[in-house]
Each structure stands twice: as structure tokens, then as C-alpha cells.
Amino acid sequence: MSNLIPIEINDQLQQEVSARKLHEGLGMNRDFTNWFKYQAEKLSLREGADFTPILAESTGGRPSIDYKVPIDIAKHICMISGGELAHQIREHFIQAERAWNSPEQVMARAVQIANQRINSLQLIIEEQKPKVIFAEALETSGNSILIGELAKILRQNGIEIGQNRLFEKLREEGYLIKRGESYNQPTQYSMEMGLFEIKKRTITNPDGSVRATTTTKVTGKGQIYFVNKFKKQIA
């Protein structure tokens, strides 16, 4: 009987059978489509919850509709069908279900699921590793850049913003000073976060006088911070 009604294991590690093969194994005279429709109505089966429609190869080579049904639903169909064949098939399902739910099989499935999750996590780690290495290298490097260069990096990451608009936004959100002698220099808040650094230098004028200049630069940590921040805003 197991050759007539094979039991399959789906992606959720659940036992299921082909409704067409069950219809054939039960020796039903009624055509498959109307037979299954009757069973679904009688048992109040819901598509997606109690059965899944699929396309299967027919004997003529053209796709035909089939349904995957859980083994417990298949047992119910056998029970209401009646007859010796239905009884034998139902007993076959009961034995298969009993073996599937034995402590050894349950433990084996638990190990399989755990291994699948570990493999999935390892794939995620491998995919993220280059990004993590790049971020860590950028954060710890001394490669500070001008705010205009940050605007270019943001555009490369899908954030359409120019240099002037970026300055304006950084002032609006409290990262740069809005007015006064320190206009466009980092606020205490952003300096404490390590997002910016100030480069100071002195310039000797032609008349011999000396003047000091300051340039605001975005640190590696700041570059990562602002790319992530602005990407979230457009998500």
C-alpha cells in the first residue's frame, strides 16, 4: 500500500500526501476534481491551511491540478470513504505517523532544524562580513573627509542630497552650529559622539600677519553614522 500512497515530507518537515494518489488508491469511480471538491466541502477544508494546490504532470504530459494534504486530513478522508481499501490505507497512514512521531524521529528533526538555522546564520554572517570589515576599518581609520565629500558618499548610497542642503540639514538637526563665529562648526553634542573633528592651521598673510583657520571634517565613525541615519530616513 505504501507504494500506492507515498508519504512526502514538505519544507516544514510535515507529512503530506498527494490527493490524486489517494483518490487513485481508494479506487474512486468519481472524477478527481468533483471527488476532492466534495471531500473539501464535507470536511470544511480551507485552501492554504488544510490543503495546498499544485500543478502535477498528467499521463498526457500536460500539467494537471493536484492537492497536497496533511496526513491527518488524509486519514479523515479515508475514514469517511469507508470500505476495506480505505481502512488499509488509513492504517498505513497511522503507522507512518506513529513512526514519524517517535522520540528518535522527533529528536532527529530537532537536530535537522537546528542545523538549518545555524547554516542560515552562517550565510548571513558571511554576507555581512565584508560590510562589517569595511565599517570597522573606516571607523578606526584616520580618513576624515570634508562635508562636501560626505554628500558625494550619501549620493552613492542612494541619498540624493547636495553639499549646501547637507550643511543645512546638519544645522537643523543640531550637528553643526547655526550662527555666530563658530557657524558650521560641530556642536558639542556631535563632537562628543565622535562624528566630526576640527583641523586647525595658521596662515601667514603677505603683510606678515598670521590668521588661524578651522576646517570641519567628518570622521570615519561619522561617515558610517550619517549614511545609516539618512538611509533610514528614506526607507
Q: What is the pLDDT of residues 10-38, one digit of tens each?
A: 888 889 999 999 998 888 888 999 999 99
- State the pLDDT at residue 138: 59
As a whole number of angstroms, the distance between CA 113 and CA 118 comes to: 9
Chain centroid, CA 194 distance in Å: 32
Nearest to 28 by CA among 83, 93, 90: 83
Helices then strands, each counted (H, E), the chain:
9, 7
Q: What is the pLDDT of residues 49-87, one digit of tens each?
A: 889 898 876 666 677 889 999 999 999 999 988 888 889
Q: Which regions of 7-95 does DSSP assign to beta strands (E)? A: 8-9, 15-18, 52-57, 63-70
- State the pLDDT at residue 191: 94
Overall pTM > 0.75: no
Q: What is the pLDDT of residues 150-196, one digit of tens each?
A: 999 888 888 899 999 999 999 999 999 999 888 999 999 999 999 99
Residue 2 has pLDDT above 80, yes or no: no
As a whole number of angstroms, the distance between CA 162 and CA 181 comes to: 24
Q: What is the pLDDT of residues 92-144, one digit of tens each?
A: 999 888 888 888 888 888 888 888 888 888 887 776 665 554 555 555 555 88
CB neighbours of 231 closer than 8 A, spacing ≥ 6?
Answer: 157, 158, 159
Ordered by start, the domain boundaries in the chain are 8-101, 106-140, 145-234
